[in-house]
Chain A
Amino acid sequence: MHKFLAILKKEVLLLLRDPSGLAILFLMPMTLVFIMTLIQESTFNTLNEAGIPIVLVDNDKDSLGASVIFGLSNTKACVLTTVLDGKPATVESAEKAVAEGKFMIGIVIPAGATKAIRSNVRSLVEQTLADSTVDLSSIPPVKHDTVEISMFIDPVTKRSFINATTSALREFISQIKSKIIFTTFSEEIEKIIPGKNKATPADIDIVRYREEYAAKDKSFILPNSVQHNVPAWTIFGMFFIVVPLAGSILKEKTEGTSFRLRSLPGNYVTIISGKVSVYVMVCMIQFVLMMCVGVFIIPLLGLPALQLGSSHPGIIAIALSTAIAASGFGVMIGTFATTDHQSAISGSLSIVLFSAIGGIWVPPYVMPSIMQQLSSISPLNWGLNAFYELFLRGAGLMDVWQQSFKLIIFFFLTVLTAHLYNQLKKS
């Protein structure tokens, strides 16, 4: 126990004697969480709150154009403009504005679009309601007028934005078509049975949507970018403990203290557990600070505060397991490395790779299937999934024990690998 405490004291002193290093150790992960959450929030806003900038050319001047303008103006997903430089947008001016990056998407509703829809619908209705005694095959097929809505797209626009706009357009066109069909049918029925048709097109809006988030307990946490990003970047920041820990191990090798330590009584487990304990403590302090950023600092900028869910034991278990796994990885990198460059580059690059695979940058469900399978081997993915369970699905300690167990196993595997490597070198 004396030895273990002496190692703890030595590691703490070494950290305290490097105040700038210590400040970086705590400030950098906090800054990372803060900046990344803000960046991701603004990306999220572009689609959901700030809106996609769209310019619309209404050459139709009828129901379809009016319906699309009304619909796009009333959705938060876009910011609609129909006037450029004080004049109604034309095809040429809209295309130019999109090409210059002033708008992400330009939409052109062609002249006579509504008229064409009406004409097509009327032909179809008339055909449907034709006298049953007439041989339908004798009637020549109706010639449909095609309505083509053009879209100009800025090449930098994300596919998801284009899909969202196309989807909204389809919805508005579908609505206007339904109204025209309904009106035409009503007019034709009025001709056959006068005074019997009292319905209005508004009556056909009978299907509604209700969104509800599924959670494992009754506590309701609103999913938002803060709930997604703070845990993700916290795990990323915690894993960066690999760099100073590996550096500390390497320093002992290059400065000769490792040689003396190996000649002293005491085993590898005592020496490494003392070092790991201190870095796990540092990691836990980092975690608390990063959570504080989510709960207290981020709301100061108008973003929602991080909600920690209902299972504090679950959070502590996953944070501790993540800290232990990250420290084990640091021990392995520090043991293998022979120079500062090797240690710093391999440590930081491997974390970036693990985080990319693990879904920190991009959610695994948007990755190709091979990458989705690979993501399950990343310890950052285990930690992230566990935090999502706790922060978004209202899970408890028992729901995340498997992820915690995997992280602890990862620690033992990395430390065992480092130990075997040392033994191999010794022999």
Chain B
Amino acid sequence: MGRDLPMYVGSRGEREPTLAPWEGSAPHGRRRPQRGDAGMSEIAIGIDLGTSNSCVAVMRNGEVEVLTNAYGEATTASVVAFREDGGINVGNAAKANIIHLPDRTVHSSKRLIGRYFFSEEVKKAQAICSYRIVEAENHGLRIQIDEEKFSLPEIAAMILSEMKSIAEARIGQPVTKAVITVPAYFNDNQRQATKDAGRIAGLEVLRILNEPTAAALSYGFGRGLSQRVAIWDLGGGTFDISVLEIGDDVFEVLSTAGDTFLGGEDFDDRLIDLLADEFSARTGVNLRNDRYALEKLKVAAEGAKKGLSLENEVEIRIPDVITTANGESHSIERSLTSIEYAALVNDLIQSTFKVCDEALQQAGVVARDLDGIILVGGPTRLPLVRDTVREYFQQEPREGIDPDRVVAMGAAIHAASLVSSDQEAYLLDVTPLSLRIGIVGDLAECVIERNTPVPIEQTRTFTTFKDGQESVEIKVFQGESQEARDNELLGQFSFSEFEKGARGEVQIDVTFEIDTDGIVSVTATDRATGRAASTRITLSSGLSENELDAIIDESRTDRVEPTTRVDENNRVIGAIPLKSVPADTPVVFEETRASKARLVGDDDLIEESELLPLDEAPTIPDAVPAAAAPADGPMGAGGESTRSISEPSRLDRSAKAAQIGSDDPEEIEAFSGNFSQNVIDPAAIGAEDEGDDLDLIDVDEDDDLDLLGGDEEEELGGPILELGRDAELADTEPVIANDQLFESPGTDLSELDDDNEEPR
């Protein structure tokens, strides 16, 4: 990656260092970190915190290195296992627990971070995950293990903490700074929660970076390119597409679009369904009712996907997938061809192209304008995915880019850039979702459109509706719908720090800002007094500053036992926590990601030695796996070893929450019963306006009368007006928002309301 950068245009060289008290020990100027003096230079790592796997990298001396764990693996499973003795394990060893101790093994937590308890995603996870997801204050959620409840940022912090340990072992010095990547389509709630996770893990999060942008940086850094590229990123749980223009050292995101409900695990679900249906047709036994069988199916499905990345046909063998009540043992044996698989998942792949159409259109380009297509994410190893993408973009995707590592590498490049005094790349990113403010009629008016570059700030001025009004309520949303309820509520706050006055006299400036992390903040200021109340827009279910401090103080993250550390001779060693699995279950690990992964019957695997029993593990460079294995650790107790389910634990299986329903009537009953109490209309949050918490009028709106605020205007005596720059109050009566024309009880709006399109 070494290269000569053209000097950027600009005047940094002219800065007078004496006037700038640069923070830390890195004075401004051209002083590069001393090469080969890693102990002295400031280190910052890049972490790709994935749904199913995470990866950490660092850039030193101009070279980007992916930091492997003690077992030589570039990626570490994003799985957290809670042992009965209180210890916590993260990674592939933890993943092996899913089968044995599903209720203590948290996987796919990225799908839950920054979500409300009532969200679809949480519903799905509750239906299929064995660990307990419970509701917390303000529609938040926690994961409950025994009596302990963990917030999602805390779970993510445990994964980050493991990645940090890997980095520290490999780099040989403490690491406190990181760039963490998120899907480009993550909303503010999810970004904020991820940033909180970094803090809990003891990391200063230099930047929340979009995954596709990181991939583009890794691709284009230091190459002096002038190209337009698309990053097609299909991860475990999310799909993102970003279109970028790379102009030398500037990486400008032209547009981004995505789907946070589409990922490789949806592919797995299709195959699980097929296998379960076939099995049910053949035997009359529904495997979906048996968690262990289901886990085996998931392992097999993920293995098949990986196998089909390399072969045209794979053999699926699941011996003893289930033993029925009468003691009969059933197996699954079936071959699966690429063509059959394509038929299963083709519509999923096709659905990404609708998102691509949108991104290209927003970027103002067509496919043939693109100079390159970069594929990111494990599923892009499937030839069928590559073929379909090639067909859509009418060009060959770029070769030679590791789809599992490229994001962490880009994050590492950016991290290095942020701690160095040399700025070698400029990332000009965009906000993926429109920022909106709640107005009358449960509508949400756009303040900052999606694909607007960040950082950005917009101010609106509002006034009160009633004489002597005490406070105003401000609700902030993200999303593309004019209907408030179809957007994500980022937060709401009540502002009362203003000089009370007659209606229309008070002027309150509300400033919306999106920073370079894509994180939103909102400030309200009284023009008369200059008094301000600002808020980090906090997910109602998110962590408050106090809660965050409490979590950091409690430091449960310290219970994570790093698998990768340095021994007294400064050698990196691995310590697979064997006590966490039954003694007769071989603990294994995948040697390298690229090793031939054929499928899936356990015998095959062992014979092909892609996965090695620990005690047979060869010496891996820089790795000395711990050998001893306590025979009966607390997590191993419980007799699982008799269940013939050892094979999945030998596989590098996906830990993602498959989106499949359960057929178990009891479970469905319990689930829906559980849920009905908790389903909350997002639009109804904060509908409990109290007393004088009235709505605001925007003072500098054009003379249409948008009514901002709560849902109960009628009872509260009517909403307040948003007043135009050129507004004449007299002309604006009666107070009816445009969109509310003809709205009256019992009126069918659908005939009349076809004019509700968002102006583009």
A complexed with B: no
